[in-house]
Amino acid sequence: MTASQDPRLRQLPSVERVLQQLEAGGHLNGIPRPLAARAVRQVVEGARRRLIDGTAPAEWSPALVIEESTRAVAWSGHSRLTRAVNATGIIIHTNLGRAPLSQAAQEAVRAALAGYTLLEIDPETGDRGSRQTHVEGLLEITTGGEAGFAVNNNAAAVLLGLAALATGREVIVSRGELVEIGGAFRMPDVMAQSGARLVEVGTTNKTYRHDYERAITPNTAMLLKVHRSNFSMTGFVHEVEVRDLVGLGAARGIPVMYDLGSGALVDVRTRGLPAEPTVQEAVAAGCALVTFSGDKLLGGPQAGIIVGRAEAVDRCRRHPLARAVRIDRLDLAALAATLRHYLTPDEAWAEVPVLRMLAADAHELTDRALWLTHQLRNVLEDRAVATCISADAQVGGGALPGAVLPSAAVLVQPGDGAPEAWAARLRERRPAVIVRIQDGGLLLNLRTILPDELDAVVDAFR
């Protein structure tokens, strides 16, 4: 008998039959039927695929379809874009929205949501203005750039910079810096879409100034440097420092663009972390354009930021693509509030959640882990064992690759030996609690659980 002849296929209930059972059980109350039907259809089709390819569990029965459909329909009635507690130990977690916003940024978003806003109106004259006025001054002050401009993400910032300064001409970049960013988007692909022509120089591990010099032609529009923010190279390696590249560009009349990616506005070495180039250093080196993300080390909303020389930034501002990649008012509000923290670096370390997590004291994390362990033991009693252990955390999100941060964690080992099922239940909570599975249990890393989220974790287990 082939898998496609599995007799259990005939036992699969129809979508309509499942809907009728759920309706009879009161599971569709308040949930639009089209949404519920879509959720059930996906469950039934998934079960059919598993039965055909032989991956369905041996104890499969039609009751499992009803059970899974009940959960799927319940989810369909609510937005899945809900608050979550990040207990994974990965600070900038792309799947969880990267950087959590500061209180000030959250309040700014709520104000922008309340109704109409002065997005593009000058309050003094009543004339139409630019939405960029909300952040351009802050960007100039915090980065040292002559001008600043924000778009919807860093890939868009890079695309816009290339299109504005190099369409139809050559852009020289080191072979060792042709990175791939999240979602399988690669620098050569972004460059191709901009209309610029990629010229690779050097080798994977070594590129020298003379490699750039030899590649320059009358058709060269730009020298591009890309920070390897999501991986590191060690050993027999060499790269051209940005100041040297700017010097070469100045001698030959060619602008330099630096894609910094992670966007650090503070020196993370002051908190014992590995060196990370800052935006201010790149601007001071003389780059025409510097691009970086708003939701990585900057700790703000998803955004792409362009700073640098006024003439180069203005060309980006006036390019037709600028309209297609413009930043939304909610992100703009959050970005402006986040940048204000950086007017005083000490305030940034105290108020921006990503920086607070990076700088968290290991002893303080242990104290929190001990408190959480005690609370969970009281809640779980004999249903699970909760133990305070040491653990490591990561920066994540394409920033500070390889940096390992000492942390403390609570390991919860269920007595029924089913940590996956416990993790699934935690994901269904409001707020959802996202954990790692390790050593037969649930690992809750305290470096990424904010102090005001501890009670929510206890309630989720309760």
pLDDT tens track for 93-121:
999 999 999 999 999 999 999 889 999 99
Q: Residue 154: pLDDT band by 50, 70, 90 thresholds?
A: very high
pLDDT higher than 60, residue 11: yes
Cα 105 → chain centroid: 17
pLDDT tens per residue across span 231-242: 677 788 899 999
Average pLDDT over the chain, rounded to an integer: 92
CATH 3.40.640.10 in the chain, residue ranges:
103-351
pLDDT tens per residue across span 426-444: 998 889 999 999 999 999 9
How far, in Å, CA of 122 to CA of 248, rounded?
42
pLDDT higher than 50, residue 76: yes
pLDDT at 183: 59
Give the total residue count for the chain. Answer: 462
Mean per-residue pLDDT, 285-313? 97
pLDDT tens per residue across span 370-419: 999 999 999 999 999 999 999 999 998 778 887 899 999 999 999 998 99
Q: Residue 357: pLDDT band by 50, 70, 90 thresholds?
A: very high
Mean per-residue pLDDT, 198-224? 95
C-alpha distances in Å from residue 456, one per residue of 23, 360, 426:
32, 20, 11
pLDDT at 72: 87
CATH 3.90.1150.180 in the chain, residue ranges:
84-95+358-461
Q: To 10 degrees, what angle do helices 187-194 and 154-166 make?
A: 50
pLDDT at 182: 62
How far, in Å, CA of 164 to CA of 309, rounded?
14
Mean per-residue pLDDT, 227-256? 89
Mean per-residue pLDDT, 260-286? 94
Contact status, residue 216 vs residue 253, Cβ threshold 8 Å: no
| Secondary structure (3-state) at 401 | coil
Q: Residue 29: pLDDT band by 50, 70, 90 thresholds?
A: confident
pLDDT higher than 70, residue 1: no
Per-residue tokens: 395:
């920066």
Q: What's the pTM value of the predicted model, to 2 decimals?
A: 0.87
Mean per-residue pLDDT, 150-156? 95
Q: What is the CATH number of domain 103-351?
A: 3.40.640.10
Greatest Cα-to-Cα distance within the chain, rounded to the nearest angstrom: 80
- Which are the contacts of 347, defined by CB distance < 8 A and separation ≥ 6? 341
CATH class for the domain made up of 84-95+358-461: alpha beta
pLDDT higher than 60, residue 4: no
DSSP 278: B
How far, in Å, CA of 287 to CA of 312, rounded?
10
